[in-house]
Amino acid sequence: MTRFALTLEFDGTPFFGLQRQKDGPSVQQSVEEAAFRVLGEEVRLHSAGRTDTGVHALAMRSHLDITKDIAPFRLMEALNAHLRPEPIAVTRCEVVPDDWHARFSCVGRSYVYRIANRRAPLTLDKNRAWLVSQDLDHAAMHEAAQALVGLHDFTTFRSVHCQADSPVKTLDRLDVEREGEEVRVHAAARSFLHHQVRSMVGCLALVGMGRWPIERMAEALAARDRQELGLNAPPHGLYFVAASYPADN
């Protein structure tokens, strides 16, 4: 048995998330079915993170355990051939030790959220960014975001369906920057709660619009109450950017 680490890039628009779902297509199902066609054996895909319906990934780290003798490059090429025309690509494939686990060995995860801040409707970035037509003050958003960095109880920014044992997380980074008409929110932590990034972004957008004062972010966090959440940003602006592991340092 050989463990292969995969790096996946995907457009989440047609999928009900990364993990297998009972009522719709998933990235996991597509990769596992492609692997079966390549290898003739059933395998299970394990991944560093979970993504909701419509969420994208630039470099999701995953792994498969395979009995067949096959070279990493050949496996990558074969998977990509069988994944077409679905919007999933294996961009890297390598053999890793048996004790390496895409999820449990991961020590850091990062996301970026894209906001298209313009009046005109989206064409090329439709389903790939959140269109906000009202002017956003990205500097105010960034200042407000710093109240969330560090160790906190993030109950306010946690989905009611979250299955995490504790709402306490350490947020390592929450930065807001602008490039032209696009405002980007960068988030990094060891792990995140369900909907945490989207919930934080939605509230930061309220700050950027001037509907929330900067201080309101800290107040919402301190409330530890989902009812204090101002807005949950839509999924299609969110991208899983990278997963980090001890050997990367």
Q: Which helix (H) or strand (E) holds 217?
A: helix 215-223
Tell me: do 139 and 83 sit in the same domain: no
Distance of CA 61 to the CA centre of its chain: 11
CATH number at residue 121: 3.30.70.660
Is the pLDDT confidence value at 105 over 70? yes
The answer to whether 225 and 156 have CB atoms below 8 angstroms apart is yes
pTM of the model: 0.95
Residues 184-240 have pLDDT tens digits of 999 999 999 999 999 999 999 999 999 999 999 999 999 999 999 989 999 999 999
Q: Could you tell me if residue 179 is inside a domain?
A: yes
Residues 35-87 have pLDDT tens digits of 999 999 999 999 999 899 999 999 999 999 999 999 999 999 999 999 999 99
Residues 150-180 have pLDDT tens digits of 999 999 999 887 878 899 999 999 999 999 9
Tell me the β-bridge partners of 63: 5, 46
Q: Domain containing 199: what range?
A: 110-248
Domain final residue pick, 96, 119, 140: 96
Average pLDDT, the chain: 95
The answer to whether 122 and 131 have CB atoms below 8 angstroms apart is yes
The answer to whether 225 and 118 have CB atoms below 8 angstroms apart is no
Domain final residue pick, 63, 96, 129: 96
Tell me: do 135 and 18 sit in the same domain: no
* Contacts of residue 193, Cβ cutoff 8 Å, sequence gap at least 6: 154, 157, 158, 159, 162, 164, 167, 169
**Phi/psi at 53 (nearest 5 deg)?**
-55, 130
* Contacts of residue 60, Cβ cutoff 8 Å, sequence gap at least 6: 7, 8, 9, 10, 18, 27, 47, 48, 49, 51, 240, 243
- Once rounded to an integer, what is the mean pLDDT over residues 1-20? 96
Q: Could you tell me if residue 101 is inside a domain?
A: no
Tell me the β-bridge partners of 9: 89
* Contacts of residue 248, Cβ cutoff 8 Å, sequence gap at least 6: none
**Tokens for 113?**
């959220």
| Nearest alpha-carbon partner for 49 in 99, 111, 93 | 111
Q: Could you tell me if residue 102 is inside a domain?
A: no
pLDDT, residue 163, reads: 79
**pLDDT confidence bin for 249, thresholds 50/70/90:** low
Half-sphere exposure of 186 (CA within 13 A, CB side): 8
The catalytic site residues sit at: 52
Q: Which helix (H) or strand (E) holds 152?
A: strand 150-153
Give buried/exposed letters for 86-119 (b at 16+ CB in 10 A, else e).
bbbebeebeebeeebbbeebbebbbbbbbbbbee
Residues 120-157 have pLDDT tens digits of 999 999 999 999 999 999 999 999 999 999 999 999 99
Q: Could you tell me if residue 12 is inside a domain?
A: yes
Tell me: do 120 and 196 sit in the same domain: yes
**pLDDT confidence bin for 5, thresholds 50/70/90:** very high
Q: Could you tell me if residue 128 is inside a domain?
A: yes
CA dihedral 16, 20, 24, 25 (to 10 degrees): 80
Q: What percent of the chain has pLDDT over 70?
A: 99
Distance CA 125, CA 41 (A): 38
Tell me: do 164 and 69 sit in the same domain: no
